């Protein structure tokens, strides 16, 4: 077949396709997405990004140490409106002998647009009972809510690991009493999510910067919550740092790490931890996974003049990190 034949044939098949699609044009739009997972490989270790969903969030009124108008301007410059869609991501690490989930999604705490982690997990080929350990970056319902379903542990065989300071703060009735009214629900939710695991002797604390499990490190990045910790997975020369809530979104706080958010327990300290995390990631050039960076939330941090920028990983079927 010469080039002309090929072109003629292509034109003919195009014509046929156009004609036949016109015949089937009445198909109803489906409008739903497939459960979101993205398989990655870090030096031979399988890491699966799991989407708990995404939800429109009024970032202009949630960010602090800035103004709503400033936030809207910066978002608009990135072609994002407010409310902006914010992802909730979790990550499953298959070490070969253990299945370890980093953060657990929202469960039933934040409405039906979220709470999709179990479906994503199932689509990725795993069941909750197979999970050996859950490591939490911190205790907020968008990370720990998915631990339970109808008041019982969803992960029937898993031990939950979290920085000791999180257990000490969120499960302390004195702290709950002292908290502002608008923050009390965090304490109630923490008890609901961690309580069943604690009762079953399956809640373990780890110290600042300690390894929660063999093969998993942590970096204490306090402020958002007292024990907020990034989780580190390193295999050979490859390194992935799972950030938790170092940022909410991938635009505003990269340009201005000093911008904080309503849910920060200690906003000033959170801003310091964020600046430190950005500088470290940019300098050492490792992969980063953000719980609220657009799904799958995997990429790099780079310096841009006097600020930082997020560079998302491009899509590849092999998913090599």
Would you tell me which residues interact with Zn ion (CB under 5 A)?
A: 142, 245
Tell me 320's DSSP state. B
Choice between 297 and 319, CB closer to Zn ion: 297
Shortest Å distance, C-beta 292 to Zn ion: 6
Shortest Å distance, C-beta 107 to Zn ion: 13
Query: Based on the number of CB atoms within 10 Å of its own CB, is 59 exposed (0-12), middle (13-18) or buried (19 or more)?
Result: buried
Choice between 80 and 293, CB closer to Zn ion: 293
Shortest Å distance, C-beta 178 to Zn ion: 22
Shortest Å distance, C-beta 166 to Zn ion: 13
Choice between 74 and 90, CB closer to Zn ion: 90
Choice between 80 and 88, CB closer to Zn ion: 88
Shortest Å distance, C-beta 146 to Zn ion: 12
Choice between 52 and 245, CB closer to Zn ion: 245
Task: Report d(CA 113, CA 101) in Å as an integer.
Answer: 21
Strands across the sheet containing 203-206: 37-42, 45-57, 84-94, 99-102, 133-135, 159-163, 203-206
Q: Take residue 205 and report the two structure tokens written for it.
A: 């604390």
* Whole-angstrom Cα Rg for the chain: 22
Element (DSSP H or E) covering residue 148 = strand 148-149
What residues have CB less than 8 Å from 62, skipping those under 6 apart?
248, 261, 262, 263
Shortest Å distance, C-beta 73 to Zn ion: 24
What residues have CB less than 8 Å from 44, skipping those under 6 apart?
235, 236
Choice between 113 and 234, CB closer to Zn ion: 113
Angle, CA 239 vertex, CA 194 and CA 207 arms, to 5°: 35
């Amino acid at each position: 077949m010469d080039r002309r034949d090929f072109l003629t044939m292509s034109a003919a098949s195009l014509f046929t396709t156009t004609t036949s699609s016109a015949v089937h044009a009445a198909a109803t739009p489906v409008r739903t997405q497939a459960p979101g997972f993205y398989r990655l490989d870090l030096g031979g270790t399988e890491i699966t990004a799991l989407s708990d969903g995404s939800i429109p969030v009024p970032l202009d009124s949630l960010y602090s140490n800035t103004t709503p108008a400033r936030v809207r301007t910066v978002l608009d410059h990135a072609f994002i409106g407010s409310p902006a869609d914010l992802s909730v991501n979790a990550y499953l690490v298959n070490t070969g002998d253990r299945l370890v989930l980093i953060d657990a999604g929202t469960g039933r705490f934040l409405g039906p647009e979220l709470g999709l982690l179990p479906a994503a997990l199932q689509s990725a080929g795993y069941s909750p009972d197979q999970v050996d350990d859950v490591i939490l970056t911190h205790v907020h319902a968008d990370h720990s809510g998915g631990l339970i379903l109808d008041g019982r542990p969803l992960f029937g065989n898993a031990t939950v690991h979290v920085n000791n300071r999180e257990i000490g703060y969120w499960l302390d009735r004195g702290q709950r009493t002292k908290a502002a009214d608008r923050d009390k629900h965090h304490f109630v939710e923490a008890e609901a999510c961690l309580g069943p695991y604690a009762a079953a002797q399956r809640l373990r604390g780890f110290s600042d910067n300690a390894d929660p499990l063999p093969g998993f490190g942590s970096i204490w990045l306090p402020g958002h919550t007292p024990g907020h910790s990034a989780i580190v997975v390193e295999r050979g020369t490859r390194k992935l740092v799972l950030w938790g809530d170092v940022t909410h979104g991938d635009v505003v706080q990269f340009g201005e790490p000093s911008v904080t958010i309503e849910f920060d327990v200690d906003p000033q300290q959170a801003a310091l931890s964020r600046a430190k995390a950005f500088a470290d990631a940019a300098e050492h050039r490792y992969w980063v996974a953000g719980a609220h960076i657009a799904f799958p939330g995997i990429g790099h941090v780079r310096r841009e003049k006097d600020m930082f920028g997020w560079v998302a990983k491009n899509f590849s079927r092999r998913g090599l990190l």
